[in-house]
Structure 1
Amino acid sequence: MSRQIHVFRSPERFLAGTIGAPGEREFYLQAAEGRRVVSVACEKQQVAVLADKLGALISEVAKRFGEQAGAAPFVPADERLLTPVDAEFKVGTMGLAWDGDRSQVIVELLALSEDEVSEDVVLEDSEEGPDALRVFLSLAEAQSFAQHAEAIVAAGRPPCPLCGNPLDPQGHICPRLNGYHRELG
């Protein structure tokens, strides 16, 4: 089967979202343009890293090229994934690039693959390699995505003040307390 590359040159939306309750959430990235919607499954840490790296890229572009993000309400007001969510693939490798000629950020998400993915595959349209989702964003759109993604990641379970692991509503066995569960109150 040949490689599929889903390209969104002017997406109406590109956002991170979740399905499920905190502690059981599944994370997705979704791009939509007209009636075409592509969703990909990913890990919470991948969303956090993508948001962080986009922020760093935006800062670097501003410093080197003087381009400013400005403000753009890119993430829809309801900030939810369009349903039904049917993931095309699970994200393995992520790539970011700056297209100075078009003043656009390029986000590429490659499918998880058993084979090692070389840098040559990222942002290439070759027949070989994993499936991909490629999204072109203005700086303002990239910044809006990053802010929304950070909020999605932060909306999960609060961290334990001692060990940093997620707290369940009923608590957890903290490794810093050697399994001893102190009564609260």
Structure 2
Amino acid sequence: MPTLVHEFSWPDRVVVGTIGLPGARTFYLQVRTGTQIVSIALEKQQSALLAENIDEILDQLMTVEGNRFSVPTGTPIELVDNDQLEAVQEQFRAGAMSLGWDPTTAQVVIEAHPITAVDADDDDDDDESLDEESADETEMLLVRMPVGTARAFAKRTREIVGAGRPTCPLCGYPIDADGHICTLPEA
């Protein structure tokens, strides 16, 4: 079965947002161009790593030949997006993701693939071939965004990830809204 590619080359909007209360939030990567909109579910850690790695790529590019790609050091004010997610219809839950740079278009490239049976069952020792694994994949998300949009995306994502439950100053674990039993590390 051919893979359905949800491709966005110059998206009107690309954001990470959440649905739910801290401690029970679901993270989504949402991309829109015109009326085409795709939302995929992510883990909180995937979101955090995505933002961190985008910033690393952009910071490295700033040092190349006098910043010839015009990578901004901060988020351009006109690209700040603090709006809520639009109507969310989950396309798939992200498993493997990749991040890259396309110098021909000066864009950051994100690829997201759905969780496969192999991803979901890491304890399974079956020796499946790559052909069988890729046969499970029926769709993927491909996003290409310019450097300013990528910088704004990373900033918003860090803010969304950081807006969860506060951490206990003693044990470092999250504090739930209904209380916290602190388990101090043993000395």
Name stretches of at least 5 consecutive residues in structure 2 with no aligned partner.
120-129
Residue 172 (str. 1) matches residue 177 (str. 2): no
Q: Deviations over 1:11-46 (max 9, x none)?
A: 000000000111111110000000000000011111
Superposition deviation, residue 114 in structure 1 = 2.3
CA-atom RMSD in angstroms: 2.1
Amino acid corresponding to residue 115 of structure 1 in structure 2: V
Residue 74 (str. 1) matches residue 73 (str. 2): no
Residue 26 (str. 1) matches residue 31 (str. 2): no
In 1: Cα distance, 2:117 partner to 2:80 partner: 33
Within a 5 Å distance, the mapping from 1:45-124 to structure 2 comes to: 45-65=45-65, 66=67, 67-70=69-72, 71=76, 73-76=78-81, 78-83=82-87, 85-115=88-118
Name stretches of at least 5 consecutive residues in structure 1 with no aligned partner.
122-126, 179-185
Q: Output the TM-score relative to the length of structure 2.
A: 0.82
Q: By percentage of residues, which structure has more helix?
A: 2
Question: Aligned to 1:24, what secondary structure does the other structure show?
Answer: coil
Sequence identity of aligned pairs in percent? 37
Q: Deviations over 1:71-103 (max 9, x none)?
A: 263343x421111x1111101111111111111
Superposition deviation, residue 2 in structure 1 = 3.1
Whether the 8 Å contact between 1:95 and 1:108 is mirrored in structure 2 is yes
Amino acid corresponding to residue 143 of structure 2 in structure 1: V
In 2: Cα distance, 1:152 partner to 1:72 partner: 18
Partner of 1:146: 154
Count, aligned residues: 167
Question: Aligned to 1:73, what secondary structure does the other structure show?
Answer: helix
In 2: Cα distance, 1:52 partner to 1:129 partner: 29
Superposition deviation, residue 129 in structure 1 = 6.4
Instruction: Provide closer, same or farther for how the CA distance between residues 129 and 72 of structure 1 changes in structure 2, counting only shifts above 3 A.
Output: farther
Question: Aligned to 1:64, what secondary structure does the other structure show?
Answer: coil
Superposition deviation, residue 136 in structure 1 = 0.6
Instruction: Provide closer, same or farther for how the CA distance between residues 128 and 58 of structure 1 changes in structure 2, counting only shifts above 3 A.
Output: farther
